[in-house]
Amino acid sequence: MHPNASTRTEESVEQSAMHAESSNDVGMLEDIQLLWEDLQGLSHDRFRLAALETQRAGQSLTTMLVAAVMLGLLLSAAWLGLLAAGVQWLIEHDLQTSSAILLAVAFNLLLALSLFGLIRRRSRYLQFPATQHSLKPVPKDFANKDIR
């Protein structure tokens, strides 16, 4: 064998190794770049999905509010009809017209007062009292006690 042959072989092995390392680095960089692009695509898709669902939720909320207002008007008209029928019934049973109307108004006010009380009692739960209590710091004297 030629003495320079082993040096050439060593140089070609080193160059092959360096070329393999650089191609591995390039391949890894390409993989990272592809992974990054996939991640951006996924996050873009999720934001788009969230935006579409928010739009749908807004449209549904608007439809529900319009339907609730219409329902409120219809129920109010029905309630007024019931009150008118009650007043008419009282008049037919020998009660004066003014007394029948005052009785209907008193009944209406009594019902409104009871509903106001219900709303007032339930409104305290809108402040998340248990959650607020759980978020308060534990007093130092309680935290320092040994549990035996």
Q: How far, in Å, are 47, 78, 96, 103 from residue 99 at the CA level?
A: 64, 22, 5, 6
d(CA 61, CA 56) in angstroms, rounded, equals 9
pLDDT for 148? 53
pTM value is 0.54
**For the chain, what is the mean pLDDT?**
84
Q: Please report the pLDDT score of residue 56 as a whole number.
A: 92
Residue 48 has a pLDDT of 86
State the pLDDT at residue 120: 94
Q: What is the mean pLDDT of the segment spanning 80-92?
A: 96
pLDDT band at 96 (very low <50, low <70, confident <90, very high): very high
pLDDT at 146 (0 to 100): 57
Nearest to 111 by CA among 85, 88, 87, 79: 79
Which range in 4-13, 20-29, 116-125 is most confidently predicted, on average pLDDT?
116-125
Question: Percent of the chain having pLDDT more than 70?
Answer: 80
Instruction: Give the pLDDT confidence of 19-55 residue by residue, as tens digits.
Output: 656 667 778 888 888 888 888 887 888 888 888 899 9
pLDDT at residue 15 greater than cutoff 70: no
- Alpha-carbon distance of 133 to 127, in angstroms, equals 11
Burial call 63-87: b when 16+ CB within 10 Å, e when fewer = eeeeeeeeeeeeeeeeeeeeeeeeb
pLDDT value of position 30: 85
